[in-house]
Structure 1
């Protein structure tokens, strides 16, 4: 197993080095792959951004707990990409932005809304990136690499290849990683089904453990649980910088739209395999901790060769998400703050900005590693910004896209109030009819958006 994982990491480093030498000439090459991504690379990197350690390990855990409906996290990600393709992908790519806050400033005017949106997104991206570092540590722990050594090695690998090759390296490695991750979970699920005697045998084993028929239904988790999983995931996908960066890198608006649709369909399909793995672990093992479903399968059902391939696939899923987060955070630092807010450099100074981009990428990666290993307790606090960003930014972005009457005042008020309500809901544990905090915060943000826009538009006229 160890040699396969080492070979995989070396291959990723070589791809990053090669991409940096061949493709990277300036900032646009580094941040947006020169806006030259075709449908295959673009679809793969969009899918890989979602299909990370959470989708594999979490999908296995949900499959263990809820059965076939445990696939809904990954399916929700796929639906989000499909809606992204249908709603905004083509229009936003045609506008040739670098970041989502680029759109916010162009649509509403002023730097304040750009700064607030960028800051929330950066903090959240760093927090989620730190969580991926811990996922890598857990994955390499299966090999017996305990402590922080595994996390440091895996993190340095994706920092180095992303710093060297920018989004070109990220998209090429994402294609490799998505193929590897998909093959890995499909192989693992088939091994599990072979050990249980197929779906019929698995059903008999689970029924003997007292599992009910809802365990084998795609709706088994319950409509409310599925909706509260689906809506926040779709909302973030429709406004996340890590997704739009890939759309902005596509050759054209049509390519962006089609790649988003293809990536979403791929995600919907592959998301069922981790759930099947979790169901198989439930049938074959007496685990008290559902999160150990995937590690148990790797340790107990796989030989060294197949186990190494699947472990490399798990690492591929983690690193494909991590490099996407790292690249997205860099685009905020360089475009939104360095260029647009602080006016340190102009966009036409491509080579100077390439140096800034590489330094920013390296620093953000190391910062995430330090947070994960030294102060992991603040990761949850940083990820709160993910919820705040979704609650605050969703309405100004999508509302501004759909409604010409929206005003700068309405957008800014809805962003601030939505974000504050989300933070209040997180800290106070407040819910509304069991809905996730970003849902009810976004609903109130929408009301504020409409009312303030109508009021300010009336007074302006």
Structure 2
């Protein structure tokens, strides 16, 4: 019954996403560059992106190992959505298209734009497998006889089924469905089960000391999530795309606010589910399977099947947004560097085929990525790849002296420092976002000022 319910539910959701793409006739409608999305569409895409991006399994894992402090992830890290709302009008005035490389080329140089394109494609290929591991952990509860690799294949196929075909249209429709369903289902799950523990206070009494303390999460980590989230969001193609796709500045700004309202509280629910699993058993190791174990152990087969289907789809929605963003960059590379004369039909075909290619190449890479510490790996990869570009975007919009050389070398400095920091094992002492941001901003400002002065003297 669990398997049957799971299949029926997710087939219906995927079907909704695919149907949304039946009227797409050009690449602009696929990527969102036609600027037709309203407040609810923007909010749903951003909300689903954040919720699926480690707020389910990762936050439940943190709830299992440290308690309610595990809820900080969506509360702190999700602030980037509000930052996007504040900057939405400025970005929409400065960005010539829905692709970040086009802005970097316009503001700086082709070299900077190409560097961002190549780094983003690599990032997408590494990011997607991390999310696939999360999907696989849920699928293996539903389909226990399948190995991780096969579950990852199923997960990527689910996401690509509607993303490649429907693009931003499918992402917005599926986002609305899964965000609403997630809150209803998880809220109902906690409401119907927490009484067995004697309410929340009874649950706390059955857990190790400190599980009721938000302060169990280090302040450094919370601040790193805030700063890292805000400074990296402005270079995340997957976060920028729905904002740039909004039909008006008002829709973009209020869509971001709605996105945070949707995503911000979710980790409170998932952390509590992890805590409920901890109160029931100490046998889940690092807690990576805490969410799936709790849902299966404390729900009827029918309800568990529905919950697992919706959770699979909201994580797949995050995958879909990343696939779509990477597909957009691939299409941009194709249009700018390979076939500048491509018509809309070719670009739409390239967007779809590029998304499929990215999905399955990343699947192959995913077979070699370890499952342990998925949340930390996700955040580390995120900051290593995105934080170094934040100077180029922010300074480009607000500092007239920022130039191409300053932009390029700030990116190189940020990437090198981030990689060295992580490889040296220093991330456990001080989060990688701090030295990365310092390095790229210091180098960016210094190089821009020094080269601007030389240019002025030469003139």
Judged with a 3 Å threshold, the aligned counterparts in structure 2 of structure 1 residues 68 and 34 are, in CA distance, closer, same or farther, namely same
Contact 1:326 1:364 in 2 (8 A): yes
* Secondary structure, aligned partner of 1:55: coil
Please state how far the C-alpha of 1:409 moved relative to its aligned partner: 1.3
CA distance in structure 1 between the partners assigned to 2:12 and 2:381 by the alignment:
34
Please state how far the C-alpha of 1:285 moved relative to its aligned partner: 2.2
> 2:347: which partner in 1?
353
> 2:270: which partner in 1?
274
Contact 2:203 2:279 in 1 (8 A): yes
Q: Residue 428 of structure 1 is aligned with which of 424, 427, 430?
A: 424
> 1:388: which partner in 2?
384
In the alignment, structure 2 segments of 5+ residues that lack a partner are none
Please state how far the C-alpha of 1:53 moved relative to its aligned partner: 5.6
Contact 1:159 1:365 in 2 (8 A): yes
Query: Which segments of structure 1 move beyond 4 Å, counting only runs of 4 or more?
Result: 377-385
Please state how far the C-alpha of 1:43 moved relative to its aligned partner: 0.3
* Secondary structure, aligned partner of 1:34: coil
Contact 1:49 1:320 in 2 (8 A): yes
The one-character-per-residue Cα deviations of 1:230-258 (angstroms, maximum 9, x if unpaired) are 33233322321100011111111221111
> 1:57: which partner in 2?
57
Contact 1:177 1:317 in 2 (8 A): yes
> 1:91: which partner in 2?
90
> 2:331: which partner in 1?
334
The one-character-per-residue Cα deviations of 1:324-353 (angstroms, maximum 9, x if unpaired) are 010000011111x1122x151347x21121
Please state how far the C-alpha of 1:115 moved relative to its aligned partner: 1.0
CA distance in structure 2 between the partners assigned to 1:145 and 1:312 by the alignment:
17
Contact 1:59 1:73 in 2 (8 A): yes
> 2:8: which partner in 1?
7
> 2:434: which partner in 1?
439
> 2:399: which partner in 1?
403
CA distance in structure 2 between the partners assigned to 1:372 and 1:414 by the alignment:
30
Please state how far the C-alpha of 1:130 moved relative to its aligned partner: 1.4
The one-character-per-residue Cα deviations of 1:202-245 (angstroms, maximum 9, x if unpaired) are 12222xxx413xx3232332322322333323332232110001
> 1:211: which partner in 2?
209
> 1:72: which partner in 2?
72
Contact 1:71 1:271 in 2 (8 A): yes
The one-character-per-residue Cα deviations of 1:394-435 (angstroms, maximum 9, x if unpaired) are 11112222222211111111011111111122222245x932
* Secondary structure, aligned partner of 2:323: helix
CA distance in structure 2 between the partners assigned to 1:381 and 1:261 by the alignment:
28
CA distance in structure 2 between the partners assigned to 1:73 and 1:18 by the alignment:
33
> 2:19: which partner in 1?
18
In the alignment, structure 1 segments of 5+ residues that lack a partner are none
Please state how far the C-alpha of 1:104 moved relative to its aligned partner: 1.5
> 1:199: which partner in 2?
200
